[in-house]
Chains A and B, each alone.
Chain A
């Protein structure tokens, strides 16, 4: 279940990941726990969200970018 649709907007799964990051930056394992999504799907989704500019990664912790913050408002 991709996290970004072909038109560049976050999907329902993608939005769930982004909203989970309102609590603060997190590892894929923590995001899986917060969202209830399988870990493999979270990792795959984070790649898409990062490539699309919604999320930023540093030392395996993922946080909202400005674009990501705007998307969940």
Chain B
């Protein structure tokens, strides 16, 4: 039992290569490596045909086109069968009017869930909690969110997080609290006294030498 629990709570680490997998999905057998070159949001939900998960799936579908514009694919997961997933997404389309355009992993043996620390025994011993892993085109884990069973995720925050990561990569900057696309970004703090002295003369909007912001070219 201790062995099982130890295996289930082995969490991935930010910046590490995302654990590889090959999994049966609603769109065939997929491997993590199939997503190389694109960003991937791998997310789990507790179970098909449950109310909060249904609202989340409709919400993920709503942001799907925005994610595609950002070169991001979505991949869902739960400990349900492909048949259950197919029945549920057909139900979402028939009853809610929402087509689910992305694949969903049928992780009945929990292979992927265990690799990504998706099962938190204090929440449920059999269901995955509401995880989000943002994986970059080089298959590195760049951000992780873990929500409890009771609480649906915020799609605006997920989009904001993707934007922030992509901006950080493109411009070698950081993003301040509550940043959203188009806002000024934070210039990385100087690491030498000389750089600190020069920083105040570089034309940025500075509160002090360690907190300077700038507008990005396209914003």
Interface on A for B, CB 8 Å cutoff? Answer: 1-3, 29, 38-41, 43-45, 47-48
CA distance A34 to B35 in the complex (A): 18
Interchain CB contact (< 8 A) of B38 among A2, A39, A44, A48: A39
Contact in complex: A38, B28 (CB < 8 Å): no
CB closest chain-B residue, reference A38 = B73
Interface on B for A, CB 8 Å cutoff? Answer: 27-31, 33-35, 37-38, 73
List 13 A–B pairs whose Cβ atoms lie within 8 Å, in order of A's numbering. Answer: A1-B27, A1-B28, A29-B37, A38-B73, A39-B34, A39-B35, A39-B38, A40-B73, A43-B31, A43-B34, A44-B31, A47-B29, A48-B28
CB closest chain-A residue, reference B71 = A39
CA distance A29 to B73 in the complex (A): 15
CB closest chain-A residue, reference B102 = A38
Residue numbers in B under 8 Å from A48 (CB-CB): 28-29
* B22: min CB distance to chain A, Å: 10
Beyond A38-B73, A40-B73, is A2–B28 a contact (Cβ under 8 Å)?
Answer: yes
Contact in complex: A44, B28 (CB < 8 Å): yes
* B212: min CB distance to chain A, Å: 38
Residue numbers in B under 8 Å from A2 (CB-CB): 27-29
CA distance A2 to B103 in the complex (A): 11
CA distance A2 to B29 in the complex (A): 8
CB closest chain-A residue, reference B37 = A39
Residue numbers in B under 8 Å from A3 (CB-CB): 28
Contact in complex: B27, A41 (CB < 8 Å): yes
Contact in complex: B29, A44 (CB < 8 Å): yes
CB closest chain-B residue, reference A43 = B34
CB closest chain-B residue, reference A40 = B34
* B29: min CB distance to chain A, Å: 6
CB closest chain-A residue, reference B33 = A43
Residue numbers in A under 8 Å from B34 (CB-CB): 39-41, 43-44
Residue numbers in A under 8 Å from B30 (CB-CB): 40, 44
CA distance A67 to B27 in the complex (A): 24
CA distance A43 to B33 in the complex (A): 9
CA distance A29 to B33 in the complex (A): 14
Contact in complex: B35, A40 (CB < 8 Å): yes
* A6: min CB distance to chain B, Å: 12
* A57: min CB distance to chain B, Å: 15
* B71: min CB distance to chain A, Å: 10
CA distance A42 to B38 in the complex (A): 13
